[in-house]
Structure 1
Amino acid sequence: MNEEIRNLLATLTSVTIAVTSASCNTATNENNTYEKVISRDGTAIAFEKKGSGPPLIFITGAICHRKFQPIIDDTKILSKAFTVYNYDRRGRGDSGDTETYSVQSEIEDIEALIDSAGVSAYIYGHSSGAILALEAALKIPSKIKKIYIYDPPYVSNEKEYQEYRTTKEKIKTLLVEGKNSKAISEFLVSIGMPKIFTFFLPLTPGWKRTVQLAPTLLYDITLTENQAPVKKLAEIKVPICIAYGEESPNELKIVSNLLNQTIQSSELQSFPKQDHMVDTKILLPKMIQYFNP
């Protein structure tokens, strides 16, 4: 994996864990009221609604769920213009899971949320959540009004693909052996975190919750391990805005531009002084302008 991406992802994961550690008790002690929808395979998907505008399905990325403080904060901002469906992707938080993962199952989860919201909805996908949004555009286009994605992280070349595959197999082996903590550490080291740092992570208050998400690492790797399937994505007809941060790794900018060239119904936006951890307060006005709800 490119060194710049490794450093960025390591920083992102570290910040996520740090923020979760600091805010974990606050999030946990809040009134844990939520709703559930039943996906096509019978899996229960937990979600919360916030806001009173048109429905927006918020699809988050790796090592995230609806009670992570950064996700709570983003939902609060987005709810100023939308009714935000902040949900636990399968295998996370209060949602169920199945023994075998498939991208199709995650699309069916999104479909169940849209059906709960009404006839159709807007979608916002961040990072690997952006890849799910693209898949949804292909599978359930009639149920989606428009899509907004930020920093879709397909791999950019064959070398990165091979490295990602190696990481996936290592993590898979560790999970089979029940070594979830080591699986998380392996992932963090593979994306650039110095190994010595991983020895201190189990001491953080949020580590136990993070370790519970270890099996879902394979889900996000499955979503992002390949180069963009341009032939398939060219079939997308749903209006979609592809956004990236000008401070994000160059590879993510390349992927975003490639997708914009591939998808005829798309437009491209860039955000100065923003990296992968985009400030949602800056993003929201652009999203409102694009969706024009």
Structure 2
Amino acid sequence: MSSTVTSADGTTIAYTKVGSGPPLILVDGALCYRDFGPMADVAKGLAPTFTVYYYDRRGRGESGDTAPYAVEREADDLEALIAAAGGEVFMYGVSSGVALALEAAKRPGAGIRKLALYELPAVTDNTAAHWPSDLLERTEQLIAADRRSDAVKLFMKTVGTPSFVVAIMRLTPVWKKLKAVAHTIPYDYRVLGDAGYGKPFPADQWSSVTQPTLVMDGGKSPEYMRNSQRRLAEVLPNAQHRTLPGQTHMVKAAVQVPVLTEYFSS
């Protein structure tokens, strides 16, 4: 069932509600929304056990996009969804959605009972190239010049997508969908903050996130990604770490669903 909530700044946030059971909110990563990305399949798999809410982050799909952008406003969007779901929820964040879920969880009285997180895009050591220091500025310049395709290409290069894969993607209908939400790429960089610049996570960055948290990575993900997830689990006050064998950043719904079902049901 498709519905909307109104965020604190008046932005309309569109969401879909499926299933029955305790409420569980899914938080997408960069460039993804209800009609494009992994969450519809994840929601379908979780629906027999949970009432699942998945939504279009602001600026994507059917959600609004009130200027100026601020990370706090995106966290407000989740606060509005939590209220619509009854005020007490489980939450699962993927990729940049991890950082957004953590922003929501660290607020006083967040209403998040347990968190599950999959692969925060972070480079916290020297096992991979750090993001360019001017990445956000360059991306915003490309968007301002309406060079959406170039902004998507820069993003793909930054996250390590092979150039031949990008070349193939540009010939498919997928590229049009990516370009349609290219203006939200800077939003994700702002949510992620310093995550990609080779710095260790500050020990107190999420000190108020005391909810039980499951931090996950894929067994076939790059070394830098797996290192970062272990460090994330170490700095969170109440976290455990788990590797999903055979998985990459594009984790399969069929692998996620039983892990999440077990974790949130325990």
Q: When the two structures are superposed, what TM-score results if normalisation uses the length of structure 1?
A: 0.81
What amino acid maps onto 2:93 in structure 1? G
The secondary structure found in structure 1 opposite 2:131 is helix
The answer to whether the Cα contact below 8 Å between 1:35 and 1:47 also exists between their aligned partners in 2 is yes
Alignment partner, residue 290 of structure 1:
263
The answer to whether the Cα contact below 8 Å between 1:189 and 1:195 also exists between their aligned partners in 2 is yes
Cα distance in 1, alignment partners of residues 216 and 170 from structure 2: 35
Alignment partner, residue 277 of structure 1:
250
The answer to whether the Cα contact below 8 Å between 2:125 and 2:224 also exists between their aligned partners in 1 is no
Q: 1:262 to 1:155 in 2, by over 3 A?
A: same
Cα distance in 1, alignment partners of residues 163 and 220 from structure 2: 26
1:38 aligns with 2:11: no
Cα distance in 2, alignment partners of residues 198 and 95 from structure 1: 27
The answer to whether the Cα contact below 8 Å between 2:79 and 2:110 also exists between their aligned partners in 1 is no
Matches within 5 A, 1:40-79: 40-68=8-36, 70-79=38-47
Cα distance in 1, alignment partners of residues 3 and 264 from structure 2: 26
Cα distance in 1, alignment partners of residues 129 and 6 from structure 2: 34
The secondary structure found in structure 2 opposite 1:95 is coil
Percent sequence identity over aligned pairs: 36
1:230 aligns with 2:198: no
1:93 deviates by 0.3
Cα distance in 2, alignment partners of residues 198 and 275 from structure 1: 18
Query: Hey, which bits of structure 1, 4+ residues long, moved more than 6 A?
Result: 158-161
What residue ranges of structure 2 are gaps of 5+ in the alignment? 196-200
1:104 aligns with 2:72: yes
The answer to whether the Cα contact below 8 Å between 1:58 and 1:85 also exists between their aligned partners in 2 is yes
Alignment partner, residue 92 of structure 2:
124
Q: How many residues align?
A: 261
After alignment, is 82-91 or 275-284 more displaced?
A: 275-284
Alignment partner, residue 93 of structure 1:
61
Cα distance in 1, alignment partners of residues 237 and 168 from structure 2: 47
1:205 deviates by 2.1
Alignment partner, residue 198 of structure 2:
none
Q: 1:96 to 1:271 in 2, by over 3 A?
A: same
Q: 1:159 to 1:104 in 2, by over 3 A?
A: farther
After alignment, is 122-131 or 98-107 more displaced?
A: 98-107
The secondary structure found in structure 1 opposite 2:156 is helix
The secondary structure found in structure 1 opposite 2:120 is coil
1:92 deviates by 0.3
- Note the aligned Cα RMSD (angstroms): 2.3
Alignment partner, residue 255 of structure 1:
228
Cα distance in 2, alignment partners of residues 197 and 275 from structure 1: 16
1:140 deviates by 4.6
1:216 aligns with 2:184: yes
Q: 1:169 to 1:77 in 2, by over 3 A?
A: same
1:69 deviates by 5.4
Cα distance in 2, alignment partners of residues 99 and 166 from structure 1: 22
Matches within 5 A, 1:201-212: 201-212=169-180
Alignment partner, residue 240 of structure 2:
267
1:192 deviates by 3.9
Q: Flag the structure with higher helix content.
A: 1
After alignment, is 218-227 or 83-92 more displaced?
A: 218-227
What amino acid maps onto 1:257 in structure 2? R
The answer to whether the Cα contact below 8 Å between 1:125 and 1:150 also exists between their aligned partners in 2 is yes
The secondary structure found in structure 1 opposite 2:38 is helix
